[in-house]
């Protein structure tokens, strides 16, 4: 392939070849005219004579034969150890008696060099999907966070002070047991195509609560021009209830379930939970649980409208909702 310092581009190769073959110039004269060596001018003239204009085009520098290339059998062994045991190049090389650099080259070629490409449970290559339009599929789930005692939790004030704060929080004491301030159940909804998210905090994860969240989420998306067609959930009791099934029917939504013990199927919302924890729940010091809950709407707005999302080309999720009211005003 021609490069920045190449003496001859394909166009000039063709010109020098035609001067020699078609116009009868001596090779030495043509070489002087284009300031290249005699062998270079002769090479392009020979290729032009044999193959015409196609003979002067760039060719791959890949060799015709690679006698030292890693055998297919060894490549399969490397892939097997990577999939099943999740070993790195050094560990695989030690087991197979080959250099770690060779193992790394094979892993790169097979797109196995990053463990993130491989499913943790099955060892299979991760298969990614995305629905074509907003609302074609929404993902729902519940994640739990321990409530913050008055004065701050142990993550920021230390274990001893955190225990004292928990004991001093109103309603936290339980006779005969360690003080407990309870949990916050965050019901989350995320659109498969746009990654736009919706969330509510509740005191439980019952079917009645989950149904209420779904109804409000569908209305929230509808206000933004998105009609929900399917909903994907895990096999939690709330989502297996008759109430959930009947509510989906009333809303005109098709309920879908993930395979048992396969949270990867609902991976988009599982990844959102990690972002939620890092960006909101544990991002900074909150003196009370009320302060943390009050911060959730602002964080959701930042996530939906301003935070770049790597899965959609570095754009914020809201940018994929192309029919927002007033968008083109």
Label residue 264 by pLDDT band (50, 70, 90).
confident
Query: Would you tell me the crossing angle of helices 27-34 and 38-51 to the nearest 10 degrees?
Result: 110
Domain range for residue 110?
A: 72-117
Closest-CA residue to 288 (of 168, 200, 185, 179):
168
5 in any annotated domain: no
Same domain, 159 and 238: yes
Label residue 117 by pLDDT band (50, 70, 90).
low
DSSP structural state of residue 328: T
Same domain, 269 and 153: yes
Chain-centroid distance, C-alpha 218: 25
Label residue 8 by pLDDT band (50, 70, 90).
confident
Quote the pLDDT of residue 157: 80
Mean pLDDT (whole number) for 95-122: 81
Percent of the chain with pLDDT over 90: 54
Check pLDDT > 50 for residue 134: yes
Quote the pLDDT of residue 260: 81
CB 233 within 8 A of CB 258: yes
Same domain, 158 and 257: yes
Residue 222, number of CB atoms within 10 A of its CB: 12
Same domain, 157 and 107: no
- Of residues 156 and 101, which shows the higher confidence score? 101
50 in any annotated domain: yes
Quote the pLDDT of residue 58: 84
Quote the pLDDT of residue 310: 83
Same domain, 287 and 202: yes
C-alpha distances (whole Å) from 262 to each of 70, 169, 186, 277 are 35, 38, 21, 21
Same domain, 309 and 219: yes
Q: Please, which residues bridge with residue 157 across strands?
A: none
Same domain, 47 and 149: no
Same domain, 212 and 76: no
Same domain, 33 and 161: no
Distance CA 181, CA 315 (A): 38
Question: What is the chain's mean pLDDT, rounded?
Answer: 86
Same domain, 260 and 300: yes
Quote the pLDDT of residue 119: 58
**φ and ψ of 58, to 5 deg:** -65, 145
Distance CA 329, CA 318 (A): 16
pLDDT tens-digit map of 193-217: 999 999 999 999 999 999 999 999 9
Label residue 174 by pLDDT band (50, 70, 90).
low
Distance CA 172, CA 186 (A): 20
Domain total of the chain: 3
pLDDT tens-digit map of 266-323: 889 998 999 999 999 998 899 998 999 999 999 999 999 999 988 888 899 999 886 5
Same domain, 210 and 242: yes
Indicate if the alpha-carbon torsion angle 233, 238, 242, 248 is positive or negative.
negative
Instruction: Map tokens 């005692």 to a residue.
Output: 149
Quick one: tokens of 288?
A: 């009370």
Q: Please, which residues bridge with residue 232 across strands?
A: 139, 256
Among the ranges given (6-20, 36-50, 134-148, 149-163), the one the predictor scored with the smallest mean pLDDT = 149-163
In this prediction the pTM is 0.61
Q: Which residues of 141-172 are buried (b: 16+ CB within 10 A; e: fewer)?
A: bbbebbbbbeebbbeebeeeebeebbeebeeb
Distance CA 176, CA 168 (A): 16
Mean pLDDT (whole number) for 32-53: 91
C-alpha distances (whole Å) from 190 to each of 140, 218, 260, 264, 287 are 7, 11, 20, 15, 29
Quote the pLDDT of residue 277: 93
Distance CA 266, CA 269 (A): 6
Label residue 327 by pLDDT band (50, 70, 90).
very low
Distance CA 142, CA 326 (A): 33
């Amino acid at each position: 392939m021609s490069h920045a310092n190449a003496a001859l581009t394909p166009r000039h190769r063709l010109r020098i070849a035609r001067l020699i073959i078609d116009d009868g110039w001596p090779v030495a004269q043509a070489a002087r005219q284009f300031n290249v060596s005699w062998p270079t001018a002769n090479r392009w003239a020979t290729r032009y004579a044999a193959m015409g204009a196609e003979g002067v085009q760039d060719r791959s520098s890949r060799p015709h034969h690679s006698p030292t290339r890693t055998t297919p059998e060894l490549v399969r062994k490397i892939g097997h150890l990577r999939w099943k045991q999740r070993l790195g190049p050094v560990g695989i090389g030690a087991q197979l008696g080959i250099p770690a650099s060779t193992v790394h080259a094979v892993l790169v070629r097979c797109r196995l060099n990053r463990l993130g490409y491989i499913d943790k449970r099955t060892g299979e290559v991760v298969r990614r999907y995305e629905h074509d339009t907003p609302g074609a599929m929404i993902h729902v789930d519940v994640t739990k966070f321990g409530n913050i005692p008055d004065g701050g939790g142990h993550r920021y004030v230390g274990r001893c002070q955190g225990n004292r704060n928990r004991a001093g929080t109103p309603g936290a004491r339980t006779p005969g047991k360690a003080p407990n301030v309870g949990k916050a159940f965050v019901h989350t909804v995320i659109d498969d195509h746009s990654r736009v998210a919706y969330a509510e905090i509740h005191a439980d994860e019952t079917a009645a609560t989950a149904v209420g969240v779904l109804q409000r989420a569908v209305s929230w998306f509808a206000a933004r021009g998105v009609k929900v067609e399917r909903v994907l959930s895990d096999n939690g009791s709330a989502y297996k209830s008759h109430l959930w099934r009947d509510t989906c029917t009333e809303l005109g939504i098709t309920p879908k379930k993930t395979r048992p013990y396969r949270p990867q199927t609902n991976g988009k919302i599982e990844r959102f939970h990690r972002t939620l924890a890092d960006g909101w729940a544990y991002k900074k010091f909150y003196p009370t649980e009320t302060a943390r809950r009050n911060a959730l709407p602002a964080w959701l707005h930042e996530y939906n409208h301003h935070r770049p999302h790597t899965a959609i080309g570095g754009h914020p999720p809201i940018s994929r909702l192309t029919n927002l009211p007033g968008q083109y005003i």
